[in-house]
Amino acid sequence: MIHLDNVTKEYARGGAALQDVSVHVRKGEFCFLTGHSGSGKSTTLKLIHMAERPTRGEVRVSGYSSERTPEREVWKVRRRVGCIFQDFRLLPGRTALENVAFALEVTGTPASVVRARAQRLLAQVGLAPKAGAMVHRLSGGEQQRVAIARALANDPVVLLADEPTGNLDERATRGIMELFWEINASGMAVVMATHDLELVRLYGQARVLELDQGRLVYDSARSQAPAISKATT
Amino acid sequence: MTYALREAVAAFRRAPVLTGLASSMVGLALFVVGLFALAAYNLGEALHLVEERVEIVVYLRDDARNQEIELAHGELSSLPEVQEVHYVSKEAALENARRDLPELGEVFADLTVNPLPASLEVRLRPGYRTQEAVDQVSALAAAYAFVEDVAFGRDWVEKLFALRRVAAVTVAVLGTAFALVATLIIGTALKIAVFARREEIYIMRLVGAKDGFIRRPFLLEGAMAGFLGGVLAVLLTYLTFRVVYAFLFTLEWIPTPWVVVGTLAGVAFGVLASGFSVRRHLREV
């Protein structure tokens, strides 16, 4: 479903962010993408939702290739991929419901179903009672749930989460992780970038990909000896 | 389109200060252009009035025969540059002089012989009131044997045409400069308005909105800000016109087509400036 084939990403300033990375994420898989700051986690996610294009190699997402998808058609990829960020990226001055409805409206969902569907999505993430609250009045965990509901709006095949718990306390983090597992259990793949190794250990059944200085140094699907535990013990 | 219109209107509601500021900046920029248009139009009208007074006076010899005068009258009248030819007899000339120059009343009263010549007063058509046309018609008139002299106030006409050339160049240069300044201000104002909503553009792109869909509400918002700015500029210009008219001097209001073009220019600038700004942000994700 997601293929990174010998992907290298170089920037004019700052050199190589990724070097010759090859990964295949299957449908319904839960993957942690770990590594230190600057290891290439965010770049990998940007390549998957085609905010960036590889310098060499190819990225394929649900049948769309980075080599054959022109910029004007990237929207097709984006509707197959839901994105969540550490800073939530919600629209201030709007309610939780409006933030979710926004994702439906801008992708051309008929106006007659937008409201009901947005409410259903908020209910799915446990925020139905807060649908009418302005997002800036919600807690961090609640704002992240709104962001998740928005990411799910267009029925993506994969959820990309870039440090989604980075701004949350332990309790909110646990809640968000449980939500991710529920979403994953429904058959949606989840790729979550995090540098929180405790979290990775806590959910040991997930696949772990570790990046270091732009290189894929560990893939739990291929190796028996997790580099993470070596690095932290 | 319903969504685009709703979002464009909502933008004014959600960020009234920012959108109001953008509209005001568009309005003030166009107000400067409006003031310039008012000044340029009235300068043009003033020059036009002066130009209407450009007249060639063909003084006739006392021995000129009526047939000759009629022939010249007909020939001059048929020239494409000429609007009308008016014959002024010696008696009428004296009458005019008595009326126009009352301070010389005693001199005229003592006259036993009328010293003033008869004349043909030639007025040129609008569009032909140029130095070249004046010279050409004067030369033709002077060629008649019974013509004593041809006068058109050479110095005055030359000065008038020089003034018109200076005015035309000034209007063109200043007009271009004002239009450029207005374009820059409008562009910057709407760029700020779009920049403030770049996160919205980012999120739209992220969730899979098509570029055209993202662009539409911003273009509409730009058009609305441009239109409101245009209306504001017309109101401010009209207010200035009334004040100047009431307290300083008489002037004329600019023609309606100019007002419509100015307001539409505001709309067009608004759409273009928003379009360019959104396009830049669309490339960011």
pLDDT, tens digit (0-9, with 9 covering 90-100), for A214-227:
999 998 888 755 55
**Cβ–Cβ below 8 Å for A93 and B14:** yes
Mean pLDDT of all residues in chain A?
88
Q: What pLDDT tens digit does each residue of chain B (285 aa) get?
A: 677 787 777 777 777 887 788 888 888 888 888 888 888 888 888 887 777 777 888 999 888 888 888 888 898 889 888 888 999 988 888 888 888 877 777 776 777 778 888 899 998 888 777 778 888 888 888 888 888 888 876 677 777 778 878 888 888 888 888 888 878 887 887 788 788 888 888 888 888 888 888 888 888 888 888 898 889 999 999 999 999 988 888 888 999 998 998 888 888 888 888 888 888 877 765
Domain limit, last residue, from A108, A133, A155:
A155
| Total tally of structural domains belonging to chain A | 2
Measured between CA atoms, the residue of chain A closest to residue B208 is A75
Measured between CA atoms, the residue of chain B closest to residue A111 is B3
Q: Give me the domain span that covers residue A20.
A: 1-80+156-233
pLDDT at site B236: 94
Burial class (CB in 10 A: 0-12, 13-18, 19+), B236: middle
Task: Check whether residue A72 and residue A182 sit in a common domain.
Answer: yes
**Cβ–Cβ below 8 Å for A75 and B2:** no
User: Which DSSP symbol is given to A95?
Assistant: B
Task: Check whether residue A73 and residue A93 sit in a common domain.
Answer: no
pLDDT at site B234: 92
Q: Compute the CA torsion angle A13, A17, A19, A20 (nearest 10 deg).
A: -110
pLDDT at site B1: 61
Summarised one tens digit per residue, pLDDT across range B197-212 is 888 888 888 888 888 8
**Cβ–Cβ below 8 Å for B202 and A150:** no
Measured between CA atoms, the residue of chain B closest to residue A48 is B206
**Using a CB-CB distance cutoff of 8 angstroms, which residues of chain B are in contact with residue A74?**
205
Task: Check whether residue A74 and residue A10 sit in a common domain.
Answer: yes
**Using a CB-CB distance cutoff of 8 angstroms, which residues of chain B are in contact with residue A154?**
207-208
Domains along the sequence of chain B with CATH: 2-49+162-282 (no CATH), 55-151 (3.30.70.3040)
Locate tokens 């700015």: which residue? B229
ipTM above 0.85, yes or no: no
Task: Check whether residue A3 and residue A76 sit in a common domain.
Answer: yes
Task: Check whether residue A64 and residue A99 sit in a common domain.
Answer: no
Task: Check whether residue A140 and residue A161 sit in a common domain.
Answer: no
Minimal Cα–Cα distance from A51 to chain B, Å? Answer: 5
Rounded average pLDDT over A174-191 = 90
Task: Check whether residue A35 and residue A6 sit in a common domain.
Answer: yes
| CATH number of domain containing A190 | 3.40.50.300
Task: Check whether residue A9 and residue A109 sit in a common domain.
Answer: no
Domain limit, last residue, from A155, A177, A208:
A155
Minimal Cα–Cα distance from A200 to chain B, Å? Answer: 27
Task: Check whether residue A162 and residue A149 sit in a common domain.
Answer: no
Task: Check whether residue A94 and residue A70 sit in a common domain.
Answer: no
Task: Check whether residue A147 and residue A163 sit in a common domain.
Answer: no
- pTM of the entire predicted model: 0.68
Domain limit, last residue, from A98, A124, A155:
A155
Distance between alpha carbon B47 and the CA centroid of its chain, in Å?
A: 11
**Cβ–Cβ below 8 Å for B200 and A91:** yes
Does residue A40 sit in helix, strand or coil?
coil
Rounded average pLDDT over A95-104 = 92
- Above pLDDT 90, what percent of chain A? 51
**Using a CB-CB distance cutoff of 8 angstroms, which residues of chain A are in contact with residue B203?**
89, 91, 102-103
**Using a CB-CB distance cutoff of 8 angstroms, which residues of chain B are in contact with residue A48?**
none
Task: Check whether residue A207 and residue A185 sit in a common domain.
Answer: yes
Summarised one tens digit per residue, pLDDT across range B151-173 is 876 677 777 778 878 888 888 88
Rounded average pLDDT over A9-20 = 86
Give CA–CA dist B39/A181, Å, rounded.
Answer: 72
Measured between CA atoms, the residue of chain B closest to residue A107 is B209
Give CA–CA dist B197/A195, Å, rounded.
Answer: 31
Give every CB contact of residue B176 below 8 A, 6+ residues apart in sequence.
none
Does residue A211 sit in helix, strand or coil?
strand
Cβ atoms B211, B285 nearer than 8 A: no
Which among A186, A213, A204, A214 has a CA at the least distance from the CA of A228? A204
